[in-house]
Amino acid sequence: MKNESKIKLNNMLVTNMLKIAFNTSHTLLFDHVVFPVIEKGIKSALNRVPGPVTWPGVMEDKYYMFRSMAYSSMKIGASSKFASTVISKAMLSDLRMKKEIEFRGKFGFDPPGFMVISPAKRCNLRCRGCYANSASEKDQLDYGTFTRIIEEMRELWGARFVTVSGGEPLMYKWHGKGVLDIYREHPDSLFLMYTNGTLISDRVAGELYDLGNITPAISVEGMQEVTEQRRGKGVFEKITRAMQILKKHRVLYGISVTATRHNAEEIVSDKFIDYYFNELGAAYAWVFHYMPIGRDVDPDLIPTPDQRVMLWEKSWEIVKKRKIMFVDFWNHGPVTDGCISAGRPGGYFYIDWQAKVYPCVFFPYAAANMDEIYARGGNLNDLVDLPLYSHIRDWQFKYWKEGDLLRPCPIRDHYRMAKKFVLDTKATPSDEVTAAIIKDAEYERKMDDYDRELAKRTTPIWKDIYLNGNRRR
């Protein structure tokens, strides 16, 4: 059977399986009859379309993560409209397969799968160390550019998943239009919106439910004390109130967490997991390790190599035993086949409020500007062969065969290599701070020391568990 036929069959089977699951109430029937069928379906789907990296431990990670994704979403519950958007449009569609064939014929590999867009730098909070402190109304993406990017994703790549970040997306305003208008204009796309949660009211939650194509991810730092240390007094109460409102309106939502040296243990504690997932009803978590970019750069805030291994161990306990979708982007590199930046197959580009295009949210050096590309008659495909992105993709493709996917990030885990890419391609720093960092010898030393110490801890795990498929500790 040709690969396209396998994918089409896979999409049809998974679509029908998930539709049944979304319409089955969470009862003993679900736990003992429906979900075991879903588990078998996930294994079968992974075997039919395994992806570029198929080491034993990698396939095990993918299975447990996809299982947690299905279980978390169905346990929490979602509207039928949202479920349809997720399953039939954003995740699985014949349009995507058709566009993959077209793109592959032109570029030799599959297209990106989504985009991350920050339409506004502005925010209503003043969190310590955040770049949004210096934002103004001028730091916003042209609405026409914003909506055109989403249209071109669909037409050129068959991609219908957009992550909206910030600043605070709900503060975006362009000639009377806001971010909800974007969601309304693109009903066949799925949007993940990172938000501080303080602007979510009953009215906003009602609109999100009616639209049925948005899932908010609310930023937290941990429990109340550590969250308010960074976000300000009283913010924790506003955050929990927003979660209660979303739960009441049956809007599936999650949390977004920045892991640092100071909160690493708390964010994987039973207290943290029980509170946000069992009590407040979050469906998923995205965990981002602190990256020393932006304002008040401090490499010493990065979770230590020992903490990183601890987070790897604890996060998989949460995923496997509790069946909670708890995604740690650095430690869960095996699930995504490593780094997903620079427009790699299934990956993404990041576009900020000035229309600058970066390999990734955490790689603050741009190779293009979409406003400039559009002004000269171009489109999103003009990004693909730009040197910075090509350098990173060439490394990614090689790393699939030779690398340790527990150290998947070029800018964090292989800093000297990423720096060389930036300098060789003359990429544009996002601001004065990032321009200074790339020349800072002490910064490079700290990052390189971290990378070498991390390799000492993850390489034995990678070889033993992922390559050889031995049992985890």
Residue 84 pLDDT:
67
CA distance 96 to 29: 34
Provide Rg for the chain, Cα atoms: 21
Consecutive 10-residue averages of pLDDT for the chain (473 residues)? 56 57 59 79 84 95 92 74 67 80 97 97 76 63 98 96 94 96 95 96 96 95 90 92 96 95 97 97 95 82 96 97 96 97 98 97 97 98 98 98 97 97 97 93 95 97 95 69
Residue 135 pLDDT:
52
State in Å, rounded, how far the first CA of the chain is from the last one: 39
Q: Do residues 342 and 296 lie in contact, with contact meaning Cβ atoms separated by under 8 Å?
A: no
Residue 440: half-sphere exposure toward Cβ, Cα within 13 Å? 19
Q: What is the CATH number of domain 111-473?
A: 3.20.20.70
Q: Do residues 256 and 220 lie in contact, with contact meaning Cβ atoms separated by under 8 Å?
A: yes
Nearest to 288 by CA among 330, 349, 319: 330
List the beta bridge partners of residue 41. Answer: none
H/E run at residue 193: strand 190-195
Q: Could you count the other beta carbons within 10 Å of the beta carbon of residue 138?
A: 9
Residue 21 pLDDT:
56
Residue 14 pLDDT:
57
CA distance 262 to 227: 11
Query: What is residue 223's DSSP assignment?
Result: S
User: In the chain, what are the domain boundaries?
Assistant: 3-91, 111-473
Residue 378 pLDDT:
98
Q: Do residues 199 and 171 lie in contact, with contact meaning Cβ atoms separated by under 8 Å?
A: yes
Q: Token pair for residue 275?
A: 């509170």
* Amino acid letter, residue 378: G
Sheet holding 325-328, edge to edge: 325-328, 284-289, 254-259, 214-220, 190-195, 161-164, 114-117, 348-351, 356-358, 368-369
80-113 confidence digits (pLDDT tens): 677 667 666 666 567 888 999 999 999 999 999 9
